[in-house]
Amino acid sequence: MKNLAGLREEVKSWHDTGKHLKDLSELAELGDESLRSELEAEIDKLERELEHRSFRAMLSGRYDHDSAILAIHAGAGGTDSQDWAAMLQRMYLRWAENRSFTSEVLDEAAGEEAGIKNVTLSINGDFAYGYLRPEKGVHRLVRLSPFDSAHRRHTSFALVEVLPQVALDEADVEINPSDLKMDVFRSSGAGGQNVQKNATAVRLTHIPTGIVVTCQNERSQLQNRENALKVLRARLVELKQAEKEQEIAVLRGEYTKAEWGSQIRSYVLHPYQMVKDHRTGYETGNAQSVLDGDLDALMETYLRSADH
């Protein structure tokens, strides 16, 4: 029913666009010069809408319409990399806010001095996964380190994972309760006295694959378990997809193992400002705007190049 409602809404919106186009054509055929400025404004608006729709039509992967789970892991580099992971978290939360998506921190491990070691976010909204999937990979930051007393230039790395937030009734995977080991422990993060006193944090281990998921943001052990299951299901779906893609790549003779060293994007803050996507060659000199969540141009350029 959910899929049907979504398809009906999509078809209706296309019919509305077609009606709008027909109405504009009929007005233009009148040849009334007094309507020219109004028609030009409406045509510009329609062209932008069609451009948006043509792009949205490319988000046709099986899970592209889903919400997303986004995980960020600080790489080697100590405090600088942990601070960089926190900067990326802020960037994606700002991007989600700009799109009126809702977001929730499912699990977070703070750094010793600053930043975060890792964080898992739930980003909820239509096509969140479709938009975010270009972000998967290693992100590299070059800047003057605020944690270096000599103020030298440092390079930091962080790994971003993007998973589809698969509904229980849509997933290709089945999770057998006997395959799960659950541990509960006290939350290490902030969250009030109840979180600190009670063992509400949950660690799930999927025995057949060895995948481990922790969730500790909620006060309720049950809620944390549900969130952990959500993340585990998403990881198992990704594992199944990766195995399928690897099998196809091996048959084609194209398979290369993904390694930490192959960064997808560089963010340079010194000696000049630039953000460059190494897969598409797209770059912008407004690094601060990107770090404030202005990611659409980077995402769309990648999706257009990858899908066409």
Q: pLDDT, tens digit, for every residue of 87-139?
A: 999 999 999 999 999 999 989 988 888 899 999 999 999 899 999 999 999 99
**Separation CA 39–CA 144 (nearest Å):** 52
Which domains, ranges and CATH numbers included, belong to the chain? 2-58 (no CATH), 68-169+258-307 (3.30.70.1660), 177-252 (3.30.160.20)
pTM, two decimal places: 0.78
Q: Is 210 left (phi over 0), alpha (psi -120 to 50) or beta?
A: left
**Separation CA 136–CA 138 (nearest Å):** 7
Note the pLDDT of residue 307: 57
At residue 54, the 3 state secondary structure works out as: helix
pLDDT band of 73, cuts 50, 70, 90:
very high
Note the pLDDT of residue 249: 66
**Helix H or strand E segment including 281:** none
**pLDDT tens, residue by residue, 173-204:** 788 889 999 998 887 655 444 445 577 889 99
**pLDDT tens, residue by residue, 267-305:** 999 889 999 999 999 999 999 999 999 999 999 899 888
Measured in degrees and rounded to the nearest 5, phi and psi for residue 276 equal -130, 130
At residue 207, the 3 state secondary structure works out as: coil
- For residue 21, what is the DSSP state? H
Inter-residue contact 115 to 83 (CB < 8 Å):
yes
**pLDDT tens, residue by residue, 222-256:** 889 889 998 998 989 888 887 777 776 666 665 55
pLDDT over 50 (residue 32): yes
pLDDT: which is higher, 58 or 167: 58
Which residue, 54, 74, 27, 55, is CA-closest to 260? 74
Note the pLDDT of residue 197: 55
Looking up tokens 């979180």 gives: 195
Note the pLDDT of residue 274: 96
**Helix H or strand E segment including 163:** strand 153-164
